[in-house]
Structure 1
Amino acid sequence: MASRRRTLLKVIILGDSGVGKTSLMNQYVNKKFSNQYKATIGADFLTKEVQYEDRLFTLQIWDTAGQERFQSLGVAFYRGADCCVLVYDVNSMKSFDNLNNWREEFLIQASPSDPDNFPFVLLGNKVDIDGGNSRVVSEKKAKAWCASKGNIPYFETSAKEGTNVEDAFQCIVKDALKNEPEEELF
């Protein structure tokens, strides 16, 4: 019989202010989207029960403020993370250019035991805006960035339309489990 033991998976979502971190989290957990923009202060988290390969997990998704002034809070929130999701807006080159800073900052603050193999997932959000006409970061450019960072999985998402949100989080769960220690058999 499959064990019904629950495991907690901690996922951190990082990226510039306004790229859609909160919206992606709400779309995934609550299947809801709001046009009301309200900046996250500090950090917030939602949980969702997920099943993966006949095991039950509690996914704890930490949504962090994109403003620099809250970055000092990082250490406490990043510790113990199983996966880090980096988000940028495909319509904003600045949010894409800042990905390196977010990734580096996370690795410094979280200090994972094996930083080279720590699971990251990149989401290019807001692909629905203006029918894709205001887009400034190409999928090719994003994929090249991912390849340069050890082949980070990449998804183009729309929190508003729900595009690829479920698929992206399935990948996030799978990647978060990669570093799970092998279970002791007794």
Structure 2
Amino acid sequence: MPSRRRTLLKVIILGDSGVGKTSLMNQYVNRKFSNQYKATIGADFLTKEVQFEDRLFTLQIWDTAGQERFQSLGVAFYRGADCCVLVYDVNSMKSFDNLNNWREEFLIQASPSDPENFPFVVLGNKVDVDGGNSRVVSEKKARAWCASKGNIPYFETSAKEGINVEEAFQCIAKNALKSGEEEEIYLPDTIDVASSSQQRSTGCEC
């Protein structure tokens, strides 16, 4: 039997603390939302398998801490990324204003081979809050910023309601795929007994 082949795509989610990075990741991977998330310490990641054109890809999504005291951990986590997701809260102008800082920080830390064309995706999260009445960042303003940075794809999302989350991550996966820095993973059809228990423990129920 031929080996099955998967490609690992590494995605980094950046943005201020409290904008909903963890919630977005969990809504996409596990289809769950919780109000009980604690602030991410350092970084954490989840994986989800996605299929494009009869090929199987493993999306490895890194959720990073928004607090400044953890930003020094960035280099190790950012390196090798295939796409960077910038998240802000549409109800917080400060979180939107900080998108530029996160973008610059990523480019410095990750040192992508082609920074001008590295794929970013911007998510304006929490559009559900107060029925949209507490919103302070307009869609027009956000789209103008994305256009000024090389036409970055933009989605308005609600991790709580699941609005646009699937669509946004499909775009993220496609952009990660285009970046071309793929890492092939070869999975044999037979798995030795010693490693099978370890594989089960690290597997992701999607």
TM-score for both structures, normalised by structure 2: 0.86
Residues 1:64 and 1:181: Cα distance change in structure 2 (over 3 Å): closer
Which one scores higher on RCO, CA 8 angstroms, separation ≥ 6? 2
Cα drift, residue 163 of structure 1:
0.2
Residues 1:136 and 1:185: Cα distance change in structure 2 (over 3 Å): closer
Q: How does 1:1-186 map to 2 (within 5 A)?
A: 4-180=4-180
Q: Higher mean Cα deviation, 108-117 or 32-41?
A: 32-41
Residues 1:159 and 1:44: Cα distance change in structure 2 (over 3 Å): same
Residues 1:56 and 1:3: Cα distance change in structure 2 (over 3 Å): farther
Residues 1:65 and 1:17: Cα distance change in structure 2 (over 3 Å): same
Cα drift, residue 185 of structure 1:
18
CA RMSD of aligned residues (A): 2.6
Once the two structures are aligned, what percentage of the paired residues are identical?
A: 91
Is the contact between residue 14 and residue 102 of structure 1 (CA under 8 Å) also seen in structure 2? yes
Cα drift, residue 37 of structure 1:
3.4
Cα drift, residue 3 of structure 1:
8.8
Cα drift, residue 4 of structure 1:
4.2
Is the contact between residue 5 and residue 185 of structure 2 (CA under 8 Å) also seen in structure 1? no
Q: Higher mean Cα deviation, 46-55 or 3-12?
A: 3-12
Cα drift, residue 35 of structure 1:
1.0
**For residues 118 and 51 of structure 1, what CA distance do their matches in structure 2 show?**
22
Is the contact between residue 156 and residue 164 of structure 1 (CA under 8 Å) also seen in structure 2? yes
Cα drift, residue 182 of structure 1:
9.5
Residues 1:132 and 1:76: Cα distance change in structure 2 (over 3 Å): same
Cα drift, residue 53 of structure 1:
1.7
User: Which consecutive unaligned segments of at least 5 residues does structure 1 have?
Assistant: none
TM-score for both structures, normalised by structure 1: 0.95
Larger Rg: 2
Is the contact between residue 49 and residue 59 of structure 1 (CA under 8 Å) also seen in structure 2? yes
